[in-house]
């Protein structure tokens, strides 16, 4: 029996920060479900290698190299995608950075840089994509939040602020865009063993903390996030709007 409810055939998706880590896994999953995926990162060569891997697996992909902090380039990339492929159906705002430092050492510049990359860019890319999605009365905007949208920990005040804000932005967009058939949801990953977290994985004390704090007793594998992106983008997720889908092995429900 074909699982049409999870099919993305004919859909056109842009995934920011998709040359590695969680973005790459989500891009592969969307392509595997039938979407044409526009891969994004700052380095064209890396993106083309990713595109080749998706094509080698029978999927459809193209590349769009830009830095999400460059609003003109980011919005221009959406325009180019619409021009080349006729529209945009799915936007996954995944690109993000993390900066870790003691509060006394955390500069305003670093704080602003994290907010700009992890929150402000999601706002203007969603606003620009929504301009097209509302006209076609269909769209799926997925913001990649974090368990730090609902929790806090020392040394990452900007990341916690940005990801908390992203959960709020998701609700605001869900309310405003829903009447035009555009949903907006957030995926909140727990601790996944990605390049962003290498320093934490390799820290014996933090690694033990994550394993003890998580009922599944381990870090998430990046490939374990792809299904949620497909689900929220697919017909199966059509009536989900404004939701924060936590994928953390149970971390946030453990006392």
| 150 touches ligand GCO (CB under 6 A) | no
Decide whether 6 or 206 has the Cβ nearer to ligand GCO.
206
d(CA 26, CA 245): 15
| 146 touches ligand GCO (CB under 6 A) | yes
| 197 touches ligand GCO (CB under 6 A) | yes
CB of 91 vs ligand GCO, minimal distance in Å: 20
State yes or no: is 159 an active-site residue: yes
Q: Which segment (28-36, 63-71, 104-112, 151-159) binds ligand GCO by CB under 6 A?
A: 151-159
Q: Answer whether 53's CB lies under 8 Å from 32's CB.
A: no
Do you know the residue count of the chain? 255
d(CA 243, CA 125): 19
Catalytic residue chosen out of the listed positions 124, 132, 159, 191? 159
Among 169, 191, 214, 225, binds ligand GCO (CB under 6 A): 191
Q: Among residue numbers 35 through 74, which ones bind ligand GCO (CB under 6 A)?
A: none
Q: Which segment (38-46, 50-58, 186-194, 233-241) binds ligand GCO by CB under 6 A?
A: 186-194
Strand partners, 39: 15, 63
Decide whether 183 or 194 has the Cβ nearer to ligand GCO.
194
| 156 touches ligand GCO (CB under 6 A) | yes
Strands, E assignment, the chain: 12-15, 36-41, 60-65, 90-93, 139-144, 182-189, 244-247
Q: How far is CA 205 from CA 67, 83, 212, 218, in A?
A: 34, 50, 11, 14
Among 24, 132, 192, 231, binds ligand GCO (CB under 6 A): 192
Number of residues that bind ligand GCO (CB under 6 A): 14
Q: Sort strands 139-144 and 182-189 into parallel, antiparallel or unpaired.
A: parallel
Q: Which of 182, 158, 149, 185 is nearest to 170 (CA)?
A: 185
**Straight-line distance from the first to the last Cα atom of the chain, in angstroms, rounded to the nearest whole number:** 41
* Binding residues for ligand GCO (CB under 6 A): 98, 100, 146-148, 153, 156, 159, 189, 191-192, 196-197, 200
* Residues that are catalytic: 159
């Amino acid at each position: 029996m074909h699982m049409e409810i999870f099919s993305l055939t004919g859909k056109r998706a842009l995934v920011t920060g998709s040359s590695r880590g969680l973005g790459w896994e989500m891009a592969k999953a969307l392509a595997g479900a039938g979407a044409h995926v526009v891969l994004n990162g700052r380095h064209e060569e890396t993106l083309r290698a990713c595109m080749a891997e998706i094509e080698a697996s029978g999927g459809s992909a193209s590349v769009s190299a830009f830095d999400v902090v460059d609003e003109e380039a980011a919005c221009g990339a959406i325009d180019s995608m619409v021009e080349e492929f006729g529209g945009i159906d799915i936007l996954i705002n995944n690109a993000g950075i993390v900066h870790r430092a003691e509060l006394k050492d955390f500069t305003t510049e670093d704080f602003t840089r994290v907010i700009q990359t992890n929150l402000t860019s999601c706002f203007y890319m969603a606003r620009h994509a929504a301009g097209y999605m509302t006209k076609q009365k269909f769209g799926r905007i997925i913001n990649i939040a974090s368990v730090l949208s609902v929790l806090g920990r020392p040394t990452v005040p900007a990341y916690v602020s940005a990801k908390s804000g992203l959960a709020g932005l998701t609700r605001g967009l869900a309310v405003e865009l829903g009447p035009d058939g555009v949903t907006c949801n957030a995926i909140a990953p727990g601790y996944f063993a990605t390049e962003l977290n290498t320093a934490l994985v390799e820290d014996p004390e933090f690694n033990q903390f994550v394993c003890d704090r998580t009922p599944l007793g381990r870090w998430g594998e990046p490939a374990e996030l792809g299904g949620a992106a497909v689900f929220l983008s697919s017909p199966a997720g059509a009536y989900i709007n404004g939701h924060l889908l936590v994928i953390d092995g149970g971390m946030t429900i453990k006392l």
